[in-house]
Chain A
Amino acid sequence: MRRSHQTLLLPVKPWFVWFSLLLGLLVNLLPWRNNGWMLQPDFVAVLLLYWNLYEPDRVSIGWGFAFGLLMDIADTSLFGQHALAYVIMLYLNILLSRRMRLFGFWNQAIHVLPLLLLGSLVMSGIRLLADGRLPSLTYFTAPAVGALMWPLMVHLLQLPQRRARESEL
């Protein structure tokens, strides 16, 4: 398998970071039909983790806070619910990031899974404290799908940076 640290990447364009995050927000807002399942992952969370891993100077904890608030408004959930979960996830991501960058995409996905699960747990904990509601267990399938999606997503996101480099060589 191609290891992520072996490929040299061109610097990312700032607009691309913004574009991908807004696209993630858009995908989160799509009218998904949940038939009792929560299969759609939180694209914004996965993208924030990705950019935080590869562009730590650009996308840091503050971005998690800002996009968390946007998600709270879009989701009509409590103010700060997504924000707190994203902030905690991104902090742990920074702690893990030095190790994660050395791994292949699938090993990274194994690291991403507990982070996403923790985010879901934080959110359900907040809702339990705030108004005594618990989601069904299927709520926790979304982080699993998010982690499974990670390798494909990283590959797609690095495509513009990688292709330019290869054509140059």
Chain B
Amino acid sequence: MFANSYYPLRWTVDKETQPAFFGRRQSPLSKLLWFGATSLILLFTDSRFRYLETIRDNVSVALYPLQQAAMLPGKWMGSTQEFLTEQATLKQENQQLRLDRLRVTARLQEADELAAENTALRKMLTLSLSYPERGQVSEMLYAGRDPFTRKIIIDKGKSNNLTEGSPVLDAAGLVGQVTRVHQLMAEVTLITDKGFPVPVEITRTHQRTVVYGTGQDGWLEVRYLALNSDIKPGDTLATSGIDGTYPAGLIVARVERVERAGGQPFARIWCKPIGGVDRSRHYLVLGKPAELPEYPASALPAEKPKKSVKAKKHAP
């Protein structure tokens, strides 16, 4: 009853000097301590262990309509823009696409033939097929507002059988990797994310190396290549396929600048991603590539032999 009638009194009766029976409200300080401690605990559990994924999952489903609604203005703008494009532009684009299609069809026929040949050869060699399953086209919902990481959210999730670790590309090249899968959407970490490694090879020399994200938009970095290594601006880097995450041959980046400073052991190599990492709207999510065979045990670094093993060895 008092709770409903406090409006007229609000600016005259000070809450802190109110008699205790007016409100059983906690003091701001105790609330601060309560909620502050809870969020600290949440922070700790989320950064150390990933216990809270199910909660994240469920709430993200609840947020989905809101995210879809946030997409609408952009979609409307896109459709009005489409409506207003001139016929000449469309005609020109159509012409271009026709030419492109011709070119692609020729390549495709070649590729079909090669794929068939490859399957036959692999069967002969009894090798498992290393081709990933067909990809799924998905649309970017929004770019993560988090300024600390380079991530985007796409509109496919568990319900479309997306799995963590699947590579994500656009028409031009590799864009990133699925790092967290919710029910209806998934989070893609872009290759420009700070410290994000992609095993690549320089297509000209087949030198294998690793390219890292820098955390800045549009820049990648190749670390730990010797000063005298054969790499120059204009070289393309493509995935090498040796990590079992990315299939081989996806174009990743072009080398922009190579600095060879005398005082340093490694060359500083700056690259630009070729895929539209922060431009594209539509992406292709590939399936996971076939499992690689187990790493041979003899090649693993020698572990300390356990006592029982030692005893066995000495026994005979």
Question: A-side interface residues toward B, CB under 8 Å?
Answer: 11, 22, 25-36, 38, 40, 56-57, 60-62, 64-65, 68-70, 73-81, 83-84, 87-88, 91, 94-95, 124, 126-127, 130-131, 133-136, 139
Question: Contact at A76–B180, with CB atoms within 8 Å?
Answer: yes
Question: Contact at A73–B59, with CB atoms within 8 Å?
Answer: yes
Chain B 45-70, CB within 8 Å of chain A: the 1/0 string?
A: 11100001001100110010011011
| B156 interface residue per 8 A CB criterion | no
Question: Contact at B43–A65, with CB atoms within 8 Å?
Answer: no
Question: Contact at A91–B70, with CB atoms within 8 Å?
Answer: no
Question: Contact at B42–A80, with CB atoms within 8 Å?
Answer: yes
Question: Contact at B148–A65, with CB atoms within 8 Å?
Answer: no
- Of the stretches B27-35, B166-174, B302-310, the one at the interface is B27-35
How far does the alpha carbon of A69 sit from the alpha carbon of B35 in the complex, in Å? Answer: 11
| B97 interface residue per 8 A CB criterion | no
Point out the residues of chain A lying under 8 angstroms from B56, CB to CB.
73, 79
Question: Contact at B70–A26, with CB atoms within 8 Å?
Answer: yes
Which of A11, A60, A130, A136 contacts B47 (CB under 8 A)? A130
Question: Contact at A130–B32, with CB atoms within 8 Å?
Answer: no
Question: Contact at A31–B63, with CB atoms within 8 Å?
Answer: no
* Chain B residue at minimal CB-CB distance from A85: B39
Question: Contact at B36–A29, with CB atoms within 8 Å?
Answer: no
Which of A65, A73, A83 contacts B60 (CB under 8 A)? A73
Q: Nearest-CB distance from B152 to chain A (Å)?
A: 9
Q: Nearest-CB distance from A100 to chain B (Å)?
A: 14
Question: Contact at A75–B31, with CB atoms within 8 Å?
Answer: no
How far does the alpha carbon of A34 sit from the alpha carbon of B152 in the complex, in Å? Answer: 12
How far does the alpha carbon of A63 sit from the alpha carbon of B46 in the complex, in Å? Answer: 21
How many chain-B residues does the 8 Å CB contact rule pick out? Answer: 51
Point out the residues of chain B lying under 8 angstroms from A75, CB to CB.
144-146
How far does the alpha carbon of A139 sit from the alpha carbon of B240 in the complex, in Å? Answer: 36
Question: Contact at A60–B66, with CB atoms within 8 Å?
Answer: no
A26 and B151 contact, Cβ closer than 8 Å, known pairs A70-B63, A76-B146: no
How far does the alpha carbon of A76 sit from the alpha carbon of B50 in the complex, in Å? Answer: 13
Question: Contact at B39–A139, with CB atoms within 8 Å?
Answer: no
Q: Nearest-CB distance from B65 to chain A (Å)?
A: 10
Point out the residues of chain B lying under 8 angstroms from A127, CB to CB.
148
Point out the residues of chain A lying under 8 angstroms from B141, CB to CB.
31
Question: Contact at A126–B43, with CB atoms within 8 Å?
Answer: yes
Given pairs A61-B35, A76-B187, 5 additional interface contacts (CB within 8 A): A30-B74, A62-B35, A78-B43, A78-B46, A83-B35
A87 and B35 contact, Cβ closer than 8 Å, known pairs A76-B180, A77-B148, A80-B43: yes
Point out the residues of chain A lying under 8 angstroms from B32, CB to CB.
61, 87-88, 91
Question: Contact at A84–B142, with CB atoms within 8 Å?
Answer: no
Point out the residues of chain B lying under 8 angstroms from A74, CB to CB.
60, 63, 66-67, 145
Point out the residues of chain B lying under 8 angstroms from A83, CB to CB.
35, 38-39, 42
* Chain B residue at minimal CB-CB distance from A135: B147
Question: Contact at B28–A61, with CB atoms within 8 Å?
Answer: yes
Question: Contact at B35–A38, with CB atoms within 8 Å?
Answer: no
Question: Contact at B45–A61, with CB atoms within 8 Å?
Answer: no
How far does the alpha carbon of A77 sit from the alpha carbon of B148 in the complex, in Å? Answer: 9
* Chain A residue at minimal CB-CB distance from B149: A133
| B73 interface residue per 8 A CB criterion | yes
Q: Nearest-CB distance from B315 to chain A (Å)?
A: 49
How far does the alpha carbon of A124 sit from the alpha carbon of B215 in the complex, in Å? Answer: 15
Question: Contact at B46–A29, with CB atoms within 8 Å?
Answer: no
18 intermolecular pairs with C-beta atoms under 8 Å apart? A26-B70, A29-B63, A30-B74, A31-B71, A33-B143, A57-B10, A61-B32, A65-B38, A73-B63, A76-B144, A76-B149, A78-B43, A79-B55, A80-B43, A83-B38, A87-B39, A94-B28, A133-B148
Q: Nearest-CB distance from B189 to chain A (Å)?
A: 9
Point out the residues of chain B lying under 8 angstroms from A11, CB to CB.
7
Which of A31, A36, A136 contacts B74 (CB under 8 A)? A31
Q: Nearest-CB distance from B56 to chain A (Å)?
A: 6
How far does the alpha carbon of A28 sit from the alpha carbon of B63 in the complex, in Å? Answer: 12
How far does the alpha carbon of A28 sit from the alpha carbon of B69 in the complex, in Å? Answer: 12
Question: Contact at A31–B40, with CB atoms within 8 Å?
Answer: no
A29 and B70 contact, Cβ closer than 8 Å, known pairs A61-B32, A79-B52, A88-B32: yes
Q: Nearest-CB distance from A140 to chain B (Å)?
A: 10
Question: Contact at B28–A95, with CB atoms within 8 Å?
Answer: yes
| B257 interface residue per 8 A CB criterion | no
Interface centre among A26, A27, A61, A124 (most CB of B within 10 A): A61
